[in-house]
Amino acid sequence: MKKLYRSNVDKRLCGVCGGLAEYFELDSTIIRLLWVIFTFCGGAGLLAYLIAALIVPNQPG
């Protein structure tokens, strides 16, 4: 069973994009580019990132 965690290895700010990339088995650069696009299209990406950084737990270990 897969669980969503913030990445400890592939992180730039809080590890949210790295964790999503690990969860969906994608390259983290793709997730980061999508997040930047959502941020510039109305600012929803920034709010979503902050919420995810608060809600998604750190990767154990």
For the chain, give every domain's residue range: 16-55
pLDDT in tens, the chain (61 residues): 889 899 888 888 888 888 999 999 999 999 999 888 888 888 788 888 889 999 999 888 7
- For residue 48, what is the enclosing H or E element? helix 44-55
Whole-number Å distance between alpha carbons of 26 and 48: 19
Whole-number Å distance between alpha carbons of 61 and 34: 28
Whole-number Å distance between alpha carbons of 35 and 46: 8
Q: What is the pTM of this model?
A: 0.82
Which residues contact residue 29 at a Cβ distance below 8 angstroms, ignoring those fewer than 6 apart?
A: none
> What residues does 58 pair with on adjacent strands?
6
